[in-house]
Amino acid sequence: MTKVISLSDEAYTTLKSMKKQGESFSKVVNRIASTKTDIMEFAGKWPGGKEELNKIEKEAYAARKKFKLRTVEF
């Protein structure tokens, strides 16, 4: 069964660039959709320096402290 989908020009260009020789768009989509990456593969992979990582961590904690939950009454 064939389905028609709409893609932005940017999405089409990206998908087209991922096509291998003789591969259909359907096969590209199936290949991409079936790719499963374990998040643990990224552990310890920060490309920046330790100082930069510490700065980001401190900013994240500071942002969490400022976050306020809203109370909703029914």
pLDDT in the model for residue 61: 93
What is the reported pLDDT for 6?
A: 93
Which ranges in the chain belong to alpha helices (H)? Answer: 9-18, 25-33, 50-66
CA dihedral 3, 4, 6, 11 (to 10 degrees): 60
Closest CA to 28 of 41, 6, 12: 12
pLDDT tens digits for range 10-68: 999 999 999 999 999 999 999 988 888 888 888 888 888 889 989 999 999 999 988 88
Asked if 30 and 37 count as a contact pair (C-beta separation under 8 A), the reply is no
Give residue 49's pLDDT.
87
Written as six digits, the tokens of 17 are 């660039």
Q: Is a pLDDT exceeding 90 seen at residue 69?
A: no
User: Per-domain residue ranges for the chain?
Assistant: 8-34
